[in-house]
Every structure is written in C-alpha cells, then in structure tokens.
Amino acid sequence: MTRKEYANFLLPNIEHDVDYYEKKYPKRDLDNDSMVVRVAPSPTGFVHFGTIFQGKVNQNLAKNSKGVFILRVEDTDQKREVENGINEIIEALNYFDISYDEGPINKDLEKGNYGPYIQSKRKDIYGAYIKYMLENDMVYPSFATATELDAQRKEQESKKERIGYYGKYAVDRNLTMDEVIEKVKNKEPYVFRLKSPGNFNNKIVFHDLVKGEVEFPENDIDYVLLKSDGLPTYHFAHVIDDHLMHTTHITRGDEWLSSLPLHIQMFQMLGFEVPQYAHIAPIMKEENGKRRKISKRKDPEANVFEFKKRGFPIVAVKQYLMTVANSNFEEWFEQNEDKDIDEFAITFDKMNVSGALFDMEKLLNLAKNYLSKLTALEVYENLVNWAKEFDKDFADLIIREKEITIKTLDIERNSIKPRKDFALYSEIKNNIWYMFKDLFNPENYEWQKITDKDEIMNILDVYINKYYDINDDNDEWFNKVKLLCDELGYASNMKDYKKNPENYKGNVADVSTVIRVALTTSSRTPNLKDIMQILGLDEIKRRIEKIRG
C-alpha cells in the first residue's frame, strides 16, 4: 500500500487538496511593510478584557501600516463553547469601536476573501493539510487513550523525565499501516499527531518583536494536531489559518511563547513562510501581595460587559489600552489631544516585556478628563444611552427633564478648567440627583458649622426675601451673599475674618454653605448660583419650606 492509498483510506472524504487552497487564498496584494494581523478569541465564556486589548493593538497596527485586521473565531473546543459566544465577541468589539476588515459579522455572515473566519467551518481545510502531511509522513494516527497518557505522564514524573509524547514514549509512531488500518476498522478512536523531527538537545534562537532574542530547545514532542472529533488543536489551526490568511505578524499573549518551537517547526515542515511574532505580556492583577494574570474564572471585572455596565466612556478605555501598549502614548496624547488616538502608531519595541498591573485609578483619571472635555449635550446623550440599558427609571427622568439635565451638566463646563466630578456614566446620578424634584426627598442634610435651625432659617429667609435675585450674574450673586453676611454679623471678607474671627459669628463660606446644603443637602456641589438658577425660585422656596418643617 502506498502512502497515498493509506491517506485515502484514513481521510476518504476530503473534498479538495492542498493545492486547491493554496490557489484559493493567494498572497495578498499589499505594500511590503503592510501588516496583516488578527485577533483570535475563542467563545468560551464572557469576553475578556485582554481580547479588547489585543484587538485594539492589532487594529492600530493594521491601520497605521495600511494593512489588514482580521477577526478569527477559534471555536474548536466544543466542550467549552458557550452559547451565543460568537455574537458576544462581535458585540464587544463593536462596543469598544474596534472595527475589523475581515471576519464574521454575525453567526452566519462574514466579510473578506480569506474565510471562513470561524474555525469550525474550516474542517475540510484542516483535513486537506492533515492528509497532505500524512502522505508525506509528517503526521501519524495515534490511539493512545486518556488513561494511557495519564499513566505515561505519571511514569515520567516519577522518573523525573520530561513530560510528553516524544521519543520512546511516542509508541504509536511505530505503528505500521496495517496495524493502523486494523484499529481503524475496529472503530478505535484516534487523533493525528505531529511526527516531530526535532531534537531536544539542539537549540533554536528566535527573535520575538517584544521579548527580543529567545532561545529554546527544539521541539521533539508529537503534539496532537487533529483531535478525534476532526477539529484541529490551536497549534495546527494557528499554522494553517495564519498561513492561508497570510498573517504577517502574530500578536498574542506571552503564554504562547513556549509553544513557539512547535509552531516554527510546523511552518518549516510545511514549507510555509514563518510570520513574525510578538508575544505581549498579559495585564496583571494584584491580590494578597502577589501578581497574577487577570483570569476569566477569578476576576469577574475582566468581563468587558462590566465596563459597559459601569458606564466607562469607551474613548477613555481605548486611551488606557493605548497607554498600556505603549507608554509613550500618553506624552503624544498630551500634545495631540484633538487628534484621533489611532493616529498614534503603536510599535513593538515600546511594548513592555513583563506584565503591567491593571491600574483602575489611571483609567478613572483618563475617564474623568475625557468627560470633562465633552459638551453637556454629548455627556447627556451618552448618559441617556447608558441609562436606557442600566437604569431605566433614571433614563425616563432625564429624558423628561432634558433641559434641566443638560443645564446641570453644563455647570462650570465651558471653561479652561472644567469640573471633573465623575468618571463613569453610572456615577452621574449620584452627583446631580438633587437637581430633580422627583428625586429630592431628603432625610439628611450635611450641615457644617452652622447647625442651629433658627439661625439657618433666619439666614435663608433674609436672603431669599431681601437679597436673592434669580437674574443676577455670578458677581452680583456673590455680592448679595456678602451683603447678607454684613447684615447678619458674618464676615463677608475672608481676610478680615482670618484676622479677627472673634468679631464675627462666622464667615461668608459658612453662610454660603447653609444655602447650599438647604437646597441640595450636600456641602459639596458645583457653583451654587447656577444651581439656584436652574432650580428656579418656586423650587428654591419649596425646599426652604421643607426645612422649616
């Protein structure tokens, strides 16, 4: 029996051969320095923050090199696959405004000429290449069961030998064609393993775009390439897909670094051009004084849905990711605030070799700054969108009270140093609730220095009846408060007060605070004059009567 007949026996239903696919997916017509990159998540749970990070990095790389950015879904693990996983990935990328040139648009549709972009739909392609490798003695069927493999691993552990299916442990390597055919006819399940030509004692040196020179022993382990369900393992899918899609730069998490010898070996065995690799460090988290990679299982906050739910401005999240990718982004951004952040070109040599801690403070700071620079209308619109999904009642309220909401958000906004009161859309309600009649039903007032109720009422009554005019501008408004202070025995001038505090009942700040707390319950608010103007005289009076009781 020839190898060809043997391959036909084991893989009889492969529609096309390797040549067909090589022709079907020709080299891309791109400039020499254009990068073809991809993000390749698997739909095995919620979408991880790291996927967004890699997506952002790759999109930026492709855009700045006039290349191609691909989304490829790695759904070859049917046991762990989650319902609707593919759609969630697509939605998450869309939500964070990370657009791709090729890939699935939804579960059924896709764009691009190098598809399918969902691995489970590429079965025939993998089959064709396995068949080719079988014909060329690069791969062999292996019938080892999980229990056999487990026993082998224990034996290797006890003998302190390297673990894996290699050398004398790779027993199925020596199966004859007849033996294989016999087992297959008996319906024994099997996989295809790589017939690795490597020698563990040889070293290979490789240049990683992020890590630099790395040295490894050659791979000599006969890894599984095609699982018994006919789907490929990651290793095999990576080599075939990235070859056929003509990926030029593999940007992936550095947990793959140790698989590099295997991957390079396969590219070389198949005569494919080896892509460039950039193994990027994961974003870490600190827990009990120890760092570790943010994980899906332990860190629910890694779920990108949490970012949506908490109302992070997506632009700020993107800025943060850019900072993590290339720390010199921050400096560039300071000088180019008006530009699109993707005009900054991420480079590999500026990427950090080791993992950075996720810095929530920094992200919140970026978010705070970003929101402070939007117009009130922009904040309002984003807020409505967020609230529609996560706080329906509040959404109804601010849609009904659109004018008040926008005016409130506009307080001290259009200046060189705008207020920075909130970083997240979910925080805004707690900042402005008191502006709405429907929500203003206070139980606690944050009175500060002046707490005597008679004195409080006295201040409020004299102020409203004698001095307050809703049409006053800021200076006039403040002058009236000062006049009020003079009349009631409070210092209208802070310097005078500091010189001789004993001459006064208190100062203008104390008096302002009484008005402020009376109208908002809070001692910390934006400009009082603006708040009063928005509330209107009737509401001001109503709130004062509330305190009178």
Residue 420 contacts RNA per CB under 7 A: yes
State which of residues 115, 319, 526, 543 lies at the interface with RNA (CB under 7 A).
526
DSSP percent split of the chain into helix, strand, coil, nearest 5: 50, 10, 40
Residue 74 contacts RNA per CB under 7 A: yes
Per CB under 7 A, contacts with RNA among 33-62 are 40-42, 44
Contact status, residue 193 vs residue 172, Cβ threshold 8 Å: yes
State which of residues 9, 25, 95, 234 lies at the interface with RNA (CB under 7 A).
234
| Contacts (Cβ under 8 Å, ≥6 apart) of 431 | 421, 422
3-state secondary structure at position 17 = coil
Residue 256 contacts RNA per CB under 7 A: yes
Per CB under 7 A, contacts with RNA among 364-383 are 365
Per CB under 7 A, contacts with RNA among 95-124 are none
Considering the complex, state which of residue 17 and residue 287 has its C-beta at the smaller distance from RNA: 287
Residue 231 contacts RNA per CB under 7 A: yes
Considering the complex, state which of residue 213 and residue 338 has its C-beta at the smaller distance from RNA: 213
Helix axes 402-410, 528-535, angle to 10 degrees: 170
Which range in 27-35, 97-105, 352-360, 462-470 contacts RNA by CB under 7 A? Answer: 352-360
Nearest distance in Å: CB 339, RNA: 18
| Contacts (Cβ under 8 Å, ≥6 apart) of 102 | 68, 69, 70, 71, 110, 111, 112, 113, 114, 115, 117, 245
How many residues make contact with RNA (CB under 7 A)? 91
Q: What number of other Cβ atoms are within 10 A of residue 485's Cβ?
A: 25
State which of residues 212, 489, 501, 536 lies at the interface with RNA (CB under 7 A).
212
Bond preceding residue 116 cis, omega within 30 of 0 = yes
Residue 347 contacts RNA per CB under 7 A: no
Beta-bridged to residue 285, according to DSSP, are 292
| Contacts (Cβ under 8 Å, ≥6 apart) of 21 | 125, 128, 129, 244
3-state secondary structure at position 187 = coil
To 5 degrees, how large is the angle CA 346–CA 347–CA 350? Answer: 110
Nearest distance in Å: CB 212, RNA: 6
Helix axes 474-488, 528-535, angle to 10 degrees: 100
Nearest distance in Å: CB 437, RNA: 21
State which of residues 84, 106, 327, 430 lies at the interface with RNA (CB under 7 A).
327
Question: What does R_g of the chain's alpha carbons equal in angstroms?
Answer: 33
Residue 163 contacts RNA per CB under 7 A: yes
Q: In the structure encoding, which two tokens stand for residue 164, read together? A: 């894996």
Residue 257 contacts RNA per CB under 7 A: yes
Considering the complex, state which of residue 397 and residue 517 has its C-beta at the smaller distance from RNA: 517
Which range in 96-104, 125-133, 172-180, 323-331 contacts RNA by CB under 7 A? Answer: 323-331
Residue 259 contacts RNA per CB under 7 A: yes
State which of residues 202, 352, 385, 430 lies at the interface with RNA (CB under 7 A).
352
**Dist. CA 405–CA 384, nearest whole Å:** 10
Considering the complex, state which of residue 22 and residue 77 has its C-beta at the smaller distance from RNA: 77
| Per-residue DSSP letter, 507 | B
| Per-residue DSSP letter, 311 | T
In this structure, the chain runs to a length of 549
State which of residues 527, 536, 537, 548 lies at the interface with RNA (CB under 7 A).
527
Residue 164 contacts RNA per CB under 7 A: yes
State which of residues 162, 339, 402, 449 lies at the interface with RNA (CB under 7 A).
162
3-state secondary structure at position 242 = helix
3-state secondary structure at position 347 = coil
Residue 421 contacts RNA per CB under 7 A: yes
Alpha carbon of residue 158 to chain centroid: 43
Residue 395 contacts RNA per CB under 7 A: no
Residue 528 contacts RNA per CB under 7 A: yes
State which of residues 512, 518, 533, 540 lies at the interface with RNA (CB under 7 A).
512
Residue 328 contacts RNA per CB under 7 A: yes
Which range in 9-17, 18-26, 54-62, 512-520 contacts RNA by CB under 7 A? Answer: 512-520
Nearest distance in Å: CB 546, RNA: 20
**Dist. CA 351–CA 208, nearest whole Å:** 12
Among candidate residues 209, 249, 236, 243, the one with its CA nearest the CA of residue 68: 249
**Dist. CA 176–CA 32, nearest whole Å:** 46
Considering the complex, state which of residue 332 and residue 390 has its C-beta at the smaller distance from RNA: 332
The DSSP result for 103-158, as a single string, is EESSSS-EESSS---BGGGGHHHHHHHHHHHHHTTSEEEE---HHHHHHHHHHHHH
Per CB under 7 A, contacts with RNA among 187-206 are 189-191
Which range in 1-9, 123-131, 145-153, 299-307 contacts RNA by CB under 7 A? Answer: 145-153
Nearest distance in Å: CB 248, RNA: 20
Per CB under 7 A, contacts with RNA among 447-486 are 474, 477-478, 481
Which range in 31-39, 98-106, 348-356, 539-547 contacts RNA by CB under 7 A? Answer: 348-356
Residue 87 contacts RNA per CB under 7 A: no
Considering the complex, state which of residue 26 and residue 189 has its C-beta at the smaller distance from RNA: 189
**Dist. CA 151–CA 149, nearest whole Å:** 5
Considering the complex, state which of residue 199 and residue 385 has its C-beta at the smaller distance from RNA: 199
Among candidate residues 380, 378, 420, 412, the one with its CA nearest the CA of residue 533: 412
Residue 417 contacts RNA per CB under 7 A: yes
Nearest distance in Å: CB 4, RNA: 25
Per CB under 7 A, contacts with RNA among 287-316 are 290-293
Nearest distance in Å: CB 139, RNA: 13
| Contacts (Cβ under 8 Å, ≥6 apart) of 76 | 42, 119, 120, 227, 231, 232, 233, 234, 237
Residue 233 contacts RNA per CB under 7 A: yes
